[in-house]
Structure 1
Amino acid sequence: MTGKTHIIGGIAASLAFAQITHYDPVILLCSGTIGALLPDICHGGSKIGRSFPVLSKIINVLFGHRTFTHSLLFLVLMGILFNAIGVGEAISAGFLVGMVSHLILDMATKNGIKLLFPLKVTIRFPITATTGGTAEYLVFSGLSVLVVYFGYDAFSIYFQ
């Protein structure tokens, strides 16, 4: 999936998560959007990879694309890191929700991901989309509708 689809996916997931938690939707929205981009740090051409080119190159050389940073192991380690450095609970939750949305979206592509890294098993959904293709555009459109739906509900308290 492209960066814009990951961003809208992170926003939709964060706003949906805000519906079932007591966390501030603004905090979830901000951290979830960044979290939705974080797994692609392993790809130098990604939005986050271009922002941190040296780190991106190191991670790519060590692990390759869609392996370690697209795994359950990475999710767990990031959760531990957030806890260890004292990141707030809402920020941590937002990052992790955004990262999970990224993994789910990439599992819907033909290349899939190495969700169980270090095992070399590729995980993908039975029906997949081509990155940048018509199916991804439809996914983006559907996620946009969900953002409006969940966003209206999450932020309605500010408009009363």
Structure 2
Amino acid sequence: MTGPTHLLVSTTSAIYLGYSSVTELLVVGIASLICDIDRKNSLLGRLIPVLPSFIEGLLGKRTLTHSIPFLLLLAMVVQTINSNWIPLLLIGFISHVILDLFTGSVALLYPYSKKFSIRLLVPPVFIETAVLIGLGVFYAFNWLDLYSRIQL
């Protein structure tokens, strides 16, 4: 999945779960992108060019940064910043990992080397396209409700 798709799915999920302030949506958005810090061509990876190359070269793609131990580490960091952001972290991170399970394999239990995936009989690009079409239809029928929930 691409960064914009992760952002759309995570922030839409957050809004429907009752999180609607700009700060809350920003935290969810960052949480949905942090997993891909292991890729230099990701949205966050382009902002910090050295770190992704180091992580991917040392550990590989979709390993540590897509794992439950990494989520626990992030939760401890977020807890020290603002404990109210833990649910926001979970929404962003978990939505990212679920989407990636459909388009590849993820080392959920890193450092255990087994990777998990949910295989459908279509190429990953079709899955991302289907998600975006689904979101488009969802927005078409729910845009007014979405807009009314956001607190600017």
Tell me the TM-score normalized by structure 2.
0.83
CA offset at residue 24 of structure 1?
A: 4.2
Partner secondary structure for residue 82 of structure 2: coil
CA offset at residue 51 of structure 1?
A: 0.9
* Structure 1 pair 158–114 and aligned structure 2 pair: CA distance change class (3 A): closer
RMSD of Structure 2 on Structure 1 (CA) = 2.5
In the alignment, is the contact (CA less than 8 A) between 1:130 and 1:136 conserved in 2?
A: no
Which of 42, 48, 52 lines up with 2:48 in the alignment? Answer: 52
CA offset at residue 38 of structure 1?
A: 0.8
CA offset at residue 157 of structure 1?
A: 5.6
Partner secondary structure for residue 108 of structure 1: helix
Counterpart of 2:4 in structure 1 is 4
Which residue identity is paired with 2:88? G
**Residue segments in structure 2 that go unaligned for 5+ positions in a row:** none
* Structure 1 pair 36–142 and aligned structure 2 pair: CA distance change class (3 A): same
**Residue segments in structure 1 that go unaligned for 5+ positions in a row:** none
Q: % of aligned pairs identical?
A: 31
Alignment of 1:5-154 (within 5 A): 5-18=5-18, 23-84=19-80, 86-89=81-84, 91-109=85-103, 111-127=104-120, 130-131=123-124, 133-146=125-138, 152-153=144-145
* Structure 1 pair 125–57 and aligned structure 2 pair: CA distance change class (3 A): same
CA offset at residue 52 of structure 1?
A: 0.8
Aligned length, in residue pairs = 151
> Aligned equivalents of 1:30 and 1:77: distance in 2?
20
Tell me the TM-score normalized by structure 1.
0.80
